[in-house]
Structures are given as structure tokens and as C-alpha cells.
Amino acid sequence: GQQLNQSPQSMFIQEGEDVSMNCTSSSIFNTWLWYKQEPGEGPVLLIALYKAGELTSNGRLTAQFGITRKDSFLNISASIPSDVGIYFCAGSYYGGSQGNLIFGKGTKLSVKP
């Protein structure tokens, strides 16, 4: 089936640093979503992207829908301790039916104060 490759798997950074992570797929996707999951909680939607080339910000977070439609990027600027968590990309591909939202395996972010 369809798979998303999310990288890196984990990141250990210093407070104040910028963070970049990405997801790639082998198929063309028509939607990209980015979620954050904190310990003991369900994922929470951060940013949704619906158009190739789209660049959307949510506070210090910026995500882009790749122009090839096969990738997406999430950047976090000036990281703070509360950014800690697992970040998931998710997407749906052309020809997929409802319920075919595919999730990446996550990027675990640790921030050292």
C-alpha cells in the first residue's frame, strides 16, 4: 500500500534552534496535514495544506505542500520546551477513497532548555 517516509525519526535540539522535518511519498498526494502528539494524548492538527506550492504558517510553525505533490515540509522556528512531542505528517493521494489518509511514522522532537 501507500507509504509515507518521514524524516528524521528523532531530533535533539537546543532551545532557540530552528527545526525542519519532511515527508515524502511515492505517489502524488492531494492533501498534506501536520499533527503534533504530546505524551498521553491524541494527535492535534497543526496545519492543513490542499494546494501544490502552498505555504502556510501557524505561529512559529510553517508548512509547505511540495511543488511535485510528493512531499511536504514542516519548520519550527526558535524552538521552546513546549514544542516537545511527536510530529506526524499525513496525506491523502489521488484515487484514494475516504479513509485513505496515510500517516508517517513520526518525528520525535526533544528540546533541551
Partner 1 sequence: NAGVTQTPKFQVLKTGQSMTLQCAQDMNHNSMYWYRQDPGMGLRLIYYSASEGTTDKGEVPNGYNVSRLNKREFSLRLESAAPSQTSVYFCASEGLSNEKLFFGSGTQLSVL
Please tell me whether residue 88 binds partner 1 under the rule CB under 8 A: yes
Q: Classify residue 36 as exposed, middle or buried by CB count within 10 Å of its CB (0-12, 13-18, 19+).
A: buried
Q: How far is the CB of 15 from partner 1 (least distance, A)?
A: 27
Alpha carbon distance 91, 94 (integer Å): 10
Q: Which CB atom, from 66 or from 106, has the smaller least distance to partner 1?
A: 106
Q: Which CB atom, from 17 or from 100, has the smaller least distance to partner 1?
A: 100
Residue 41 φ then ψ, to 5°: -125, 165
Q: Which residue's C-alpha cell is 532557540? A: 16
Alpha carbon distance 48, 11 (integer Å): 23
Restricted to residues 2-31, the positions that interact with partner 1 (CB under 8 A) are 6, 31
Restricted to residues 29-58, the positions that interact with partner 1 (CB under 8 A) are 31, 33, 40-45, 48
User: Residue numbers of the site for partner 1 (CB under 8 A)?
Assistant: 1, 6, 31, 33, 40-45, 48, 88, 90, 92, 98-99, 101, 103-106
